[in-house]
Structure 1
């Protein structure tokens, strides 16, 4: 059966529902209006009471000042931040820690400017509402003297800057030690300035930018060199076998001193200092080597002749030690065989014959020396006799003779000391120097350095003489040198007798004459009076000082003058020596 509803009743129900919806909407609208009104009142109150305050949620250098008045905020900032300003600012540049004094660096805080950065409370209601739940850091405003700050940062370079250190292996005695590589760095002052200005008052360490320089080695490369080369190398000695059953031992401590490591293309290359190795083992194999002898000029019947050279035999160290590094890495069979080679003389017979030493080119003779001085003059004459000065070489008297002390046979003899007679080992050598100087002078050799006596000695030519002097250890103080500027060689002949010394230079003539013109003595100075020593005093009248010139005139083989040089010499007066109470 089908039921039918009453159309009037249904219409009534629909109307009731519509009325209820309208009433609900009106109530919701009233609630919304009320809420907006309340928020509006709250917004107005907030605006009224917070106008001019620091915005909510603001922090300065970690200090919360949001919502406070500017006066209160500044006071709080001063209380909490100002103590930091008197403390050094912590800095970090790469892996280096440092500090900076704010006052010295020209840094001061601008309190008002800092709060100006925070601004004021916003009028936007949404921003005001979100400020209750968020925070915002405001950097400090700084008064910075840039010149002083840059200078202060530059002053840190001694600590922050470094050159790159390549990795290597060094030896502490016999113990190999790995040295790890370390990149270089330099403080970037220009870009450090804004970093310091921004963060110096934060209380945190300020990171400073640096420019780094890479290294070519790595820790792994260093460790490999340590384990594979350095440690095996000093694990035991190396034996060098020579001829005739002779051997030399290269001990671990000598290996440690000779072995170094050099970075190259990302590797660490071991290198053996051959000179240090040879210094240790060469004396042990000296008996297996034979020294060569240079060709020499000898004088037979008053003329020069060539004494033939003799080649020597010695260890070829370059060849012998070529494989030493491989031997050092071995745990056993650490043996090196010495390889020998002929060693030609420095001056061969052929070379000596081609020097052109055939005729006298200059000579000079002096005499009048005492017997004790004669002993020293004879010794140095024997040493120098036959010396060869090759074209372009410079002869040094002190260098050629070496030390002239008692060990070499020289004796105490007379000298002139401060214008008065004295004694010293090697006295009289200046007479040899003067004789050699004049022989070289008249041979036309080039003067490479000489010094006259302070006081004129009457047996020497005024303005044309020389003295020499050595320290007790044989090191040179005053030397006599001349250079052979001719295209042929020069040989020095010395002829000594108990009363005279003659020096002759042999070579090939290139000048027809070398003339010495001695000028007049001028500018005389009277001798002062000086009290002599209490013992062994020798009274003397002294001699005046004066100035003199020597002019050297050289003419070529055609008789044409090719040079004229004048040297001015000033002699001090020799004091008058008074003995006893004056």
Structure 2
């Protein structure tokens, strides 16, 4: 065998060894992650592509939903990955790590000897990410603030200046993305810092030269020989000093002090009086407006600010008066066109002291109500809550089909009378609710109850002119019923008549025996439905018709005492007189007044 043959055999044998080794290396590493590969500390070396994906997903499961924390100055903020549109691209991350079969010798060699820490590949929803960064910027960004001085209980309180911050949105995006998945530790945002223009020296100067003297005593404002004093503790809540350009600027919130001015300037000024419409000698009359002379508000704040730094004895300034017109002029009141009765109604009520109090109080509060075109009448708003402080007392109301005592009982008499006046005036019915049971002194189906604050009587002045509501009230006596009349004055638009259907859907009352100590007997009333019509006419011709249905429940026959033939309950033992034996007879049934 020659040397050439031997060399060929040896070469062939070596190539075979290489081929076998290459095949073995490919079999062992060709589809596996390189041996030393990690992703965020999770070791994936030597795993198949599918196993590496599964391990990576399991290892990062909790971190993928953690908020990304970022820090600007001393404050920490959070961005939710879902809101920012950030997700982990597992496939791309594993591919980046080097998984997958390859015949490339270099790739096979890396699988046997290589691998490194690989950053996760993050998928981004650009629109969501942009919105999340803009939201973050609104939380972080703030302008530089100058030092201020405010006053609490007439004591000056110093507030130091503060730097401003401004986020770089592009770099903030990089920071947020690099922080996903979160490890719980905040990453620093890159922000620019802006400095306030005035230093601390300006605030120190303001304290010495203005703030401390400002609270040293009252200031006095004069009009002629009249004056009004304003105390430091009254001025303090509206006073502020702001550092500016090395100095300071005082300011006074005059709107905050207006209630104080109104009270304190009463003796310095004459307030204007609005023109009104009143019923005089049975006819509407325009009461002219009266212009006023009031303290010129635009002069008050500058005068106070100029006095505050001055020492005692020099804290007085004159303020002028300005001519002020009434809000409602005589011409405006005349133009409302309140000249005739549009609609009126009268109801009577049986004698009861509480009725005189409650119906009379409501009538007085309603009387004189004036509405401009398209203004709303609300009885609850005008009359107010039915409390003792507001002039009301306890009386009968209907609750759950029973008559019970409560504050304001009887006010519904005023509501019913007002409702019918508005009905015949042709005004738009916005809200009314009939009593749950029929009360025979009211027009059937055409009445209204009220309760604070949920049940109201409302109507809209849709007449095109102003209206004035007038009430006439006569208290009841033991020998005569009370009377309430409501007239609505304006410009008459419609001739109104009313109609009604037959009663339908009759409901029979029940019979109830009540042995409770606080029992109140009640006469029965049947329930029914009825339809009410309102006919609108002009010049004798009907133009339109409106209707509504009123539903009345039945009111039970309530008798105080045990049911005949039953054993009454045993009353509690008493150490005084023995209980009176029951006769077993029910008491006389009467309807309580309402």
The interval holding the TM-score normalised by the smaller chain is 0.5 to 0.7
CA spacing shift, 1:380–1:229, aligned 2, 3 Å: farther
**Equivalent of 1:402, from 381, 384, 398?**
384
Q: Is 1:303 aligned with 2:287?
A: no
Q: Counterpart in 1 of 2:268? A: 288
- Alpha-carbon offset, residue 269 of structure 1: 8.8
Q: How far apart, in 2, do the equivalents of 1:79 and 1:554 lie? A: 84
In the TM superposition, what is the alpha-carbon distance from 1:432 to its structure 2 partner?
0.6
Q: Which range moved further: 436-445 or 461-470?
A: 461-470
Residue equivalent to 2:357 = 375
Equivalent residue number for residue 361 of structure 1: 342
Deviation at 1:500, TM superposition (A): 1.2
Alignment counterpart, residue 491 of structure 2, candidates 508, 525, 528: 508
Match of 2:469 in 1: 492
C-alpha offsets along residues 518-556 of structure 1, whole Å, 9 cap, x if unaligned?
A: 222222333345564723423224323332222211112
Query: How far did 1:417 drift?
Result: 2.1
Equivalent residue runs for 1:321-336 within 5 Å: 321=301
What is the Cα deviation at residue 437 of structure 1? 0.9
- Equivalent position SS for 2:497: strand
Residue pair 2:226, 2:268 contacting (<8 A) in 1 also: no
Once the two structures are TM-superposed, the CA of residue 406 in structure 1 deviates from its matched residue by 1.9
**How far off is 1:224 after superposition?**
8.6
Contact 1:258-1:277 within 8 A present in 2 as well: no
Is residue 516–residue 553 contact of structure 1 (8 Å, CA) maintained in 2?
yes
The C-alpha deviation readout for 1:492-521, integer Å capped at 9, x for no partner, is 22222222111112222222x112222222
The 2-side partners of 1:207 and 1:431 are apart by: 72
SS at match of 2:546: strand
Deviation, 1:292, is: 4.2
In structure 2, the partner of 1:527 is: 509
CA deviation after TM superposition for structure 1 residue 376, in Å: 1.9
Taking structure 1 as reference, are residues 451 and 115 closer, same or farther at Cα in structure 2, changes over 3 Å only?
A: closer
Say yes or no: does 1:449 pair with 2:436. Answer: no
Q: 1:505 to 1:519 in 2, by over 3 A?
A: same
Report SS of the residue matched to 1:406: coil
SS in 2 for 1:246: strand
Instruction: Say which one has the larger Rg.
Output: 1
Q: What CA distance in whole angstroms lies between the structure 2 residues aligned with 1:531 and 1:261?
A: 76
Unaligned runs of 5+ in 2: 1-17, 23-28, 45-55, 108-113, 477-481, 564-594
User: Is the partner of 1:431 in helix, strand or coil?
Assistant: helix
SS in 2 for 1:436: helix
Q: Partner residue of 2:581?
A: none
Task: Give the aligned partner of residue 562 of structure 1.
Answer: 543
Q: Please tell me whether residue 466 in structure 1 is matched to residue 448 in structure 2.
A: yes
2:487 match: secondary structure: strand
Secondary structure of 1:550 counterpart: strand
- Per the alignment, in what secondary structure is the counterpart of residue 197 of structure 2? helix
- The gaps in structure 1 that reach 5 residues or longer are 1-47, 53-68, 123-136, 471-475
Match of 1:421 among 403, 406, 409: 403
Aligned counterpart, 2:374: 392
Deviation at 1:436, TM superposition (A): 0.8
Aligned residues: 482
Cα deviation for residue 227 of structure 1 reads: 6.0
Provide the rounded CA distance (Å) in 2 between the counterparts of 1:189 and 1:454: 66
TM, length-normalised to structure 2: 0.65
- Following the alignment from structure 1 to structure 2, what is the Cα–Cα distance between the partners of residues 115 and 92? 32
- Secondary structure of 1:242's counterpart equals strand
CA distance in 1, matches of 2:129, 2:329: 68
Q: Deviations over 1:411-459 (max 9, x none)?
A: 2222222221222222211101110111111011222332222222222
Q: Determine the structure 2 residue equivalent to 1:341.
A: 322
User: Cα distance, 1:148 vs. partner?
Assistant: 11
Q: Equivalences for 1:40-439 in 2 at 5 Å?
A: 81-82=41-42, 93=70, 95=72, 96=76, 106=88, 110=94, 113=97, 140-142=117-119, 144=121, 146=123, 162=139, 164-168=141-145, 171=150, 173=152, 174-177=156-159, 178-183=161-166, 191=174, 195=178, 218-220=195-197, 226=203, 234-235=211-212, 236-237=214-215, 239-243=219-223, 244-251=225-232, 254-257=235-238, 259=240, 272-321=252-301, 337-372=318-353, 373-439=355-421
Deviation at 1:361, TM superposition (A): 1.5
What is the aligned partner in structure 1 of residue 560 from structure 2? 579
CA distance in 2, matches of 1:437, 1:545: 22
CA drift at 1:330: 7.3
